[in-house]
Chain A
Amino acid sequence: MLCMLCKKNLATVHLTQMVDPDKIQKVDLCEDCANKKGVKSDISFALADQFLSASQEIAQAAGGVEVRCPGCGFTQADFKKAGRLGCAQCYPTFAEGLESLLKSMHKGIKHIGKVPAALRQGRDLSERLKHLQKKLDRAVTAEDFEQAAGLRDEIKAAKEQLDNMLAR
């Protein structure tokens, strides 16, 4: 297991912290990062703080400036203060720091629940298009022009459907 902060060294310091009476978060760090964070001294520390300030440090070291959401101007310092994000775009912007947080609070980090119907239909339709295209390629290779003509019509119809959907 790699250290969650530097992501280079082997994690040898494992911490579990109660955030709420019913919420437990885990951290795995290497010796160096643990020392740097003063984890070894028995003083308790706030986990979210560790992460956010750490990834902020990394970002600052890399770019020299604090990461700011291009959508709403939100910074990680704001997140630490409010515990809420600024807008939908904050998720990709702060993805790195958020991932471990999400891991600690949820069952998984990939959404498997409801998807808006329009999106689902669009996804299904583009998959159908890909499938039809493959069939068409095969038909052309096999010189089955009758089937190819039929497939071309189907593809055209599916494309129109997809365009209509996107235009809405």
Chain B
Amino acid sequence: MNIHDFLCPPVESARRTGPHDRIVMSSRVRLARNLRGLAFPGWAKKSERVKALDIIRPAVEGLPQLTGAFSETMDNLGPLDKQILVERHLISREHAAKSSGSGLILNKEESLCVMINEEDHLRMQALRPGLQLRQAWMSIDQVDSDLERKLDYAFSPELGYLTACPTNLGTGIRVSAMLHLPGLVLHEQITQIISSVNRLGMAVRGLYGEGTEALGNVFQVSNQMTLGEIETDIVERLNKVLLQIIEHEENARGVLLEKRPKIVYNQIGRAYGILANAHSIASKETMNLLSLMRLGVDLGEFPNAQRALIDELFVITQPAHLQKQFTEKLVAEERDLLRADMLRERLRDVSRPNPKPAGGSGAALDKRN
């Protein structure tokens, strides 16, 4: 089956809701596991990687949670397919670079995704909209418990699950959330927040994980340490930190509106102006401006626009998604023109921002259509 027929259309996936989704775009828990007796993927010979894939793939496909899932080897996915999966945050950029000997299994709800032979033999992740770390952990814990009956994991009583990189050793767990923090950025508190989160032993990264920039004011916060602590404590600790960041973001928005409303309205108004009227716009600029429009929606400035529309545009204006809509190969300049056309069309019925919404932001949010 073709991955594009399988993937949920962005117009639908953008409508998924979860707790605190005003700020927390998604939650994720991933576990790293390896098979005993086979070299880690980065060091293994191709025959060994294929062997691991042949053992793991049927075991994962046989799980009840993954009935009817999409399952494919990476050499059967084209570069555009892979880039689309990266833009949807379903696979890592590292995995997108893999070919034969690596695989991907994804369920219909896009809530479970297993990468085979990424940095480790198995990288399984549970995804949830909004802040749902505990739910994501319980879901992936179950998958792992079901798999351990079929697979012989490399495990040491002293060091736990053995991983290719010592930074994942022990629990092999990475708990993370994607946060939209325009308030902290505009209020210039973000660096301060990042360094205090770092001091708590957590990492803050950009939109696409390791080594990427925070486009669209989206930040990924995750645990760093995986050894010497139990999984539920790691989940709870990150959850607590996220709740604090949410509070800081809400405060920053409140303070900005109270003390420097013109700055906020100016930024949102300009973002709308460009997005709704441009005839050529690059992907990065689009993301940064959509972030401001998203803030505008949160503040009730766009009574007839929903956050789902902005979240959908966030996905479909990215390079691979845009390219996918056209058969001929587009160069960046052509994409910029088509992106602008798409944005003008989709924002045609969104009226200009109204800085003083009647009835407060909450009421305005509920008035749809």
| Contact surface of A with B, Cβ cutoff 8 Å | 21-23, 71-72, 74, 78, 82-88, 91-92, 98, 101-102, 105-119
A residues near B203, Cβ cutoff 8 Å: 22
A residues near B230, Cβ cutoff 8 Å: 112-114
Chain B interface category by residue count: 35 or more
* Cross-interface CB contact of B228 among A86, A88, A106, cutoff 8 Å: A106
Which 5 pairs from chain A and chain B are nearest by CB? A108-B228, A111-B160, A88-B154, A22-B198, A106-B227
* Cross-interface CB contact of B157 among A22, A109, A115, cutoff 8 Å: A115
Contact, CB under 8 Å: A83 / B165? yes
- B300, CB-defined interface residue at 8 Å: no
Closest chain-A Cβ to B203's Cβ sits at a distance in Å of 6
Contact, CB under 8 Å: B155 / A106? no
Contact, CB under 8 Å: A114 / B141? yes
* Cross-interface CB contact of B227 among A83, A86, A102, cutoff 8 Å: A102
Contact, CB under 8 Å: B227 / A84? no
* Cross-interface CB contact of B170 among A85, A86, A106, cutoff 8 Å: A106
A88 to B158, CA, bound (A): 13
Chain B residue nearest to A113 (CB atoms) is: B171
Closest chain-B Cβ to A74's Cβ sits at a distance in Å of 6
* Cross-interface CB contact of A105 among B38, B119, B144, B166, cutoff 8 Å: B166
* Cross-interface CB contact of B229 among A21, A101, A112, A116, cutoff 8 Å: A112
A residues near B277, Cβ cutoff 8 Å: none
Contact, CB under 8 Å: B158 / A111? yes
Interface class of chain A by DSSP: loop
A residues near B156, Cβ cutoff 8 Å: 88, 91-92, 111
- B159, CB-defined interface residue at 8 Å: yes
Closest chain-B Cβ to A86's Cβ sits at a distance in Å of 4
A112 to B229, CA, bound (A): 6
Closest chain-A Cβ to B238's Cβ sits at a distance in Å of 13
Closest chain-A Cβ to B209's Cβ sits at a distance in Å of 14
A74 to B173, CA, bound (A): 25
Contact, CB under 8 Å: B42 / A91? no
Known contacts A84-B43, A86-B43, A109-B228: A114-B171 contact under CB 8 Å: yes
Closest chain-B Cβ to A99's Cβ sits at a distance in Å of 10
Contact, CB under 8 Å: B155 / A23? no
Interface centre among A107, A114, A116 (most CB of B within 10 A): A114
A88 to B229, CA, bound (A): 21
* Cross-interface CB contact of B40 among A87, A101, A105, cutoff 8 Å: A87
- B323, CB-defined interface residue at 8 Å: no
Closest chain-A Cβ to B154's Cβ sits at a distance in Å of 4
B residues near A112, Cβ cutoff 8 Å: 228-230
Closest chain-A Cβ to B236's Cβ sits at a distance in Å of 13
Chain A residue nearest to B38 (CB atoms) is: A87
Interface class of chain B by DSSP: loop
| Contact surface of B with A, Cβ cutoff 8 Å | 34, 36-40, 42-43, 119, 141, 144-145, 148-149, 153-162, 164-167, 169-171, 173, 195, 198, 201, 203-204, 224-231
Contact, CB under 8 Å: A111 / B159? yes
A60 to B156, CA, bound (A): 27
A78 to B40, CA, bound (A): 13
- Contacts A74-B43, A92-B156 known; list 19 others, CB within 8 Å: A72-B43, A82-B42, A82-B43, A83-B165, A86-B43, A87-B43, A88-B36, A88-B156, A91-B156, A107-B227, A108-B228, A110-B228, A111-B158, A111-B171, A113-B160, A113-B230, A114-B144, A115-B155, A117-B149
Contact, CB under 8 Å: A84 / B40? yes
Known contacts A82-B42, A88-B34, A116-B148: A102-B229 contact under CB 8 Å: no
Contact, CB under 8 Å: B228 / A107? yes
Interface centre among A23, A82, A83, A105 (most CB of B within 10 A): A105
Interface centre among B43, B165, B203, B229 (most CB of A within 10 A): B43
Chain A residue nearest to B197 (CB atoms) is: A22
Contact, CB under 8 Å: B39 / A109? no
B residues near A22, Cβ cutoff 8 Å: 195, 198, 203-204, 224
A102 to B195, CA, bound (A): 22
Interface centre among A88, A112, A119 (most CB of B within 10 A): A88
Closest chain-B Cβ to A91's Cβ sits at a distance in Å of 6
